[in-house]
């Protein structure tokens, strides 16, 4: 073979480093009461980016799960086959308590610790975090029905991954899913047509279909169906207590843009057995307990995704040279990376603040519960929306290499729009914020009380806060203006947290661009005079 060229100017791999570690993550972890978890968070981030686990992540996305509807004789089996590496990802996540474990942990900060661990471990693969998140989220909904939660909660919180279709109460650990969306609508679940008919033994028979049900090999599903009293929530196991299959038939798996490692199915319920969760006719109220928690996870995954994209971009710019200098030293690239870093740091700060609010509200803090109600909808809307453009820009920092699968960026890119669709797509999340404010006025008071804590520290922040108050004083066309108003709320919440707790360089850049609006539409449009060196220094991964 003739020697045609040497490989130069390619960046070294950074597998093996904890690329999710960022000062903002650990500062927030301590501030929100879970400093005790720092070692485990660091270990999980390093494990997630180890060569072995990165290979698991690659394999499970390149070889998605396969549905087997029938066996060789024509009998239905309704099983999904996953690679062994998928089970390893699930096992690791469960053993580290990323599923229901915090509900069995009374330590203050347990939910904050779990949130940081989800962000750190997310570098491995996003798909398996879907059932992990649903297993976390199902617990508060089940608690509306103490006899069910007494049976199932210990298994949903147990740190044992016990895969396979067996009667739930015979297993050492359980995984849960949710089955709400039908063909005719996902946002407006009241349009569901699946019916549930009461039986003499207290159970119900469910007849209908679901257009989306992810992780269909899970043990239990919270399922919405109509009764004579209206939309109600049911616990539907895959396997009945006597060990026989429930009438839960998998029609096909979705061929998705991304999120390949996670199976998402269409299901027919042909007189499937279920048990009522919460009050009959109050199904939305019951399942919203679950949705609130999965929304927190969407926001966590958005912040985690931003961090991974940014770490890859900075790593590349540190080693790649063009026109005689490192990319990292070139002013236009400095602006792009610093702009991305500001959003990443703001996102990390706000999601851990929300995890802290979840934790404190569970320990009885009512004002934190009110704050969480609005702040979660606002943050879910904004971070999930922002992730897609953040990821595109981070990918472009790697040039053509970023468009190639080996770089990992295409996987991140395909994943990015999904969390904005889940658990209340953009408009729905924005409108939900407004609904909460009208139905529970104490929530918006708690939100503004949080914003007031930073008042008087920076005139740019004060002006933005005054403008937001003006938006609220005008009730005209509020639905039409929903995204505009909620975006401003999200910015002010992040600005408030950065002013009080953030690094001054990051906070200054945030105020100048996001609040005083000396900023463009694309990333890389920060104004002059900012301390970008400090911002980038914080964002580096020990290069």
Out of 149, 214, 407, 511, name the contact with ligand FAD by CB under 6 A.
Answer: 214
Out of 90, 116, 139, 178, name the contact with ligand FAD by CB under 6 A.
Answer: 178
Q: Using the rule CB under 6 A, is 251 a contact of ligand FAD?
A: no
Q: Using the rule CB under 6 A, is 61 a contact of ligand FAD?
A: no
Strand partners, 208: 269
* Residue placing its CB nearer to ligand FAD in the complex, 388 or 515: 388
Q: Using the rule CB under 6 A, is 465 a contact of ligand FAD?
A: no
Number of residues that bind ligand FAD (CB under 6 A): 23
CA 383 from chain center: how many Å? 10
Contacts of 307 (CB under 8 A, 6+ apart): 19, 20, 22, 25, 119, 344, 347, 348
Q: Using the rule CB under 6 A, is 428 a contact of ligand FAD?
A: yes
Q: Using the rule CB under 6 A, is 478 a contact of ligand FAD?
A: no
Least distance between ligand FAD and beta carbon 529 (Å): 39
* Residue placing its CB nearer to ligand FAD in the complex, 178 or 465: 178
* Residue placing its CB nearer to ligand FAD in the complex, 212 or 447: 212
Q: Using the rule CB under 6 A, is 181 a contact of ligand FAD?
A: yes
Out of 218, 259, 286, 379, name the contact with ligand FAD by CB under 6 A.
Answer: 259
Give the range of 24-32, 175-183, 367-375, 379-387 binding ligand FAD by CB under 6 A. Answer: 175-183
Out of 421, 468, 478, 516, name the contact with ligand FAD by CB under 6 A.
Answer: 421
Out of 103, 212, 234, 461, name the contact with ligand FAD by CB under 6 A.
Answer: 212
- Cβ proximity of 474 and 468 under 8 Å: no
Q: Using the rule CB under 6 A, is 524 a contact of ligand FAD?
A: no
Give the range of 238-246, 306-314, 391-399, 419-427 binding ligand FAD by CB under 6 A. Answer: 419-427
Give the range of 168-176, 305-313, 418-426, 512-520 binding ligand FAD by CB under 6 A. Answer: 418-426
* Residue placing its CB nearer to ligand FAD in the complex, 178 or 301: 178
Least distance between ligand FAD and beta carbon 115 (Å): 21
- Cβ neighbours around 526 below 10 Å, total: 22
Least distance between ligand FAD and beta carbon 426 (Å): 5
Q: Using the rule CB under 6 A, is 185 a contact of ligand FAD?
A: yes
Report the site for ligand FAD in 328-367 (rule: CB under 6 A): none
* Residue placing its CB nearer to ligand FAD in the complex, 75 or 480: 480
Q: Which helix (H) or strand (E) holds 515?
A: none
Q: Report the 3 state secondary structure along 341-403.
A: HHHHHHHHHHHHHHHHHHHHHHCCCHHHHHHHHHHHHHHHHHHHHHHHHHHHHHHHHCHHHHH
* Residue placing its CB nearer to ligand FAD in the complex, 212 or 413: 212
By three-state DSSP, how is residue 84 classified?
helix
* Residue placing its CB nearer to ligand FAD in the complex, 282 or 540: 282
Which runs of E-coded beta strand occur in 93-164? none
Nearest CA-CA partner of 193 in 230, 221, 235, 220: 230
Q: Using the rule CB under 6 A, is 425 a contact of ligand FAD?
A: yes
Q: Using the rule CB under 6 A, is 213 a contact of ligand FAD?
A: yes
Strand partners, 168: none
Contacts of 483 (CB under 8 A, 6+ apart): 381, 426, 427, 430
* Residue placing its CB nearer to ligand FAD in the complex, 220 or 338: 220
**Angle (deg, nearest 10), helices 129-142 and 146-157:** 150
Out of 48, 64, 186, 495, name the contact with ligand FAD by CB under 6 A.
Answer: 186
Q: Which residue is nearest to ligand FAD (CB)?
A: 186
Q: Using the rule CB under 6 A, is 124 a contact of ligand FAD?
A: no
- Cβ proximity of 150 and 387 under 8 Å: no
Backbone angles phi, psi at 527, to 5 degrees: -75, 170
* Residue placing its CB nearer to ligand FAD in the complex, 436 or 536: 436
Give the range of 153-161, 168-176, 351-359, 415-423 binding ligand FAD by CB under 6 A. Answer: 415-423
Least distance between ligand FAD and beta carbon 530 (Å): 35
Which runs of E-coded beta strand occur in 174-297? 176-179, 195-198, 204-214, 220-227, 230-237, 248-253, 264-277
By three-state DSSP, how is residue 481 classified?
coil
Q: Using the rule CB under 6 A, is 273 a contact of ligand FAD?
A: no
* Residue placing its CB nearer to ligand FAD in the complex, 422 or 447: 422
Rounded Cα distance between 295 and 288, Å, is 10
Q: Using the rule CB under 6 A, is 269 a contact of ligand FAD?
A: no
By three-state DSSP, how is residue 510 classified?
helix
- Cβ proximity of 519 and 528 under 8 Å: no
The structure tokens listed for 281 are 């006719």
- Cβ proximity of 299 and 310 under 8 Å: no
Strand partners, 224: 233
* Residue placing its CB nearer to ligand FAD in the complex, 137 or 155: 137
CB-count exposure of residue 255 (10 Å: 0-12, 13-18, 19+): exposed
Sign of the Cα pseudo-torsion (416, 419, 425, 428, in order): negative
Q: Using the rule CB under 6 A, is 416 a contact of ligand FAD?
A: no
The residues that touch ligand FAD, with contacts defined as CB under 6 A, are 177-181, 185-188, 212-214, 256, 259, 264, 418, 421-422, 425-428, 431
């Amino acid at each position: 073979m003739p020697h045609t060229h040497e490989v130069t100017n390619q960046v070294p791999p950074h597998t093996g480093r904890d690329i999710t570690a960022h000062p903002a993550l650990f500062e927030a972890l301590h501030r929100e009461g879970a400093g005790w978890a720092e070692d485990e968070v660091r270990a999980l981030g390093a494990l997630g980016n180890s060569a072995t686990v990165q290979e698991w992540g690659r394999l499970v996305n390149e070889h998605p799960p396969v549905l087997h509807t029938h066996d060789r004789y024509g009998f239905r089996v309704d099983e999904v086959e996953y690679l062994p590496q998928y089970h390893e990802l699930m096992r690791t996540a469960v053993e580290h308590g990323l599923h229901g474990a915090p509900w069995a942990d009374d330590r203050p900060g347990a939910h904050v610790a779990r949130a940081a661990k989800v962000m750190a471990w997310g570098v491995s693969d996003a798909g398996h975090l879907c059932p992990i998140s649903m297993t976390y989220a199902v617990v508060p909904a089940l608690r509306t029905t103490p006899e069910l939660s007494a049976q199932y909660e210990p298994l949903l919180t147990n740190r044992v991954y016990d895969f396979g279709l067996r009667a739930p109460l015979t297993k050492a650990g359980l995984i849960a899913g949710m089955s709400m969306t039908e063909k005719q609508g996902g946002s407006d679940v009241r349009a569901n047509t699946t019916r549930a008919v009461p039986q003499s033994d207290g159970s119900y028979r469910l007849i209908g279909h679901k257009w989306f049900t992810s992780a269909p090999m899970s043990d239990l599903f919270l399922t919405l169906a109509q009764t004579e009293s209206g939309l109600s929530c049911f616990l539907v196991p895959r396997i009945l207590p006597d060990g026989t299959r429930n009438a839960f038939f998998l029609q096909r798996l979705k061929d998705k843009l991304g999120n390949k490692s996670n199976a998402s199915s269409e299901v027919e319920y042909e007189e499937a057995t279920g048990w009522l969760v919460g009050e009959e006719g109050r199904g939305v109220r019951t399942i919203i307990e679950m949705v609130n928690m999965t929304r927190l996870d969407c926001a966590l995954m958005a912040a985690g995704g931003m961090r991974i994209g940014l770490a890859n971009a900075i790593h590349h710019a540190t080693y790649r040279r063009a026109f005689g200098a490192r990319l990292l030293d070139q002013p236009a690239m400095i602006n792009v990376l610093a702009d991305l870093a500001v959003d990443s740091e703001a996102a990390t700060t706000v999601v851990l603040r929300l995890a802290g609010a979840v934790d404190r509200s569970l320990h009885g803090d009512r004002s934190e519960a009110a704050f969480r109600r609005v702040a979660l909808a606002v943050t879910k809307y904004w971070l999930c929306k922002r992730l897609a453009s953040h990821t595109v820009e981070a990918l472009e920092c790697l040039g053509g290499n970023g468009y190639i699968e080996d770089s990992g960026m295409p996987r991140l890119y395909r994943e990015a729009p999904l969390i904005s669709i889940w658990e209340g797509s953009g408009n729905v999340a924005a409108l939900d914020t407004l609904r909460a404010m009208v139905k529970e006025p104490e929530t918006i008071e708690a939100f503004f009380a949080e914003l007031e804590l930073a008042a008087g520290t920076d005139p740019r922040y004060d002006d933005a806060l005054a403008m937001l108050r003006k938006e609220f004083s005008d009730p005209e066309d509020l639905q039409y203006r929903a995204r505009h108003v909620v975006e401003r709320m999200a910015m002010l919440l992040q600005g408030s947290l950065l002013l009080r707790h953030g690094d001054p360089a990051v906070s200054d850049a945030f105020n100048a661009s996001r609040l005083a609006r000396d900023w463009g539409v694309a990333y890389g449009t920060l104004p002059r005079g900012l301390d970008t060196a400090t911002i980038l220094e914080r964002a580096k991964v020990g290069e």
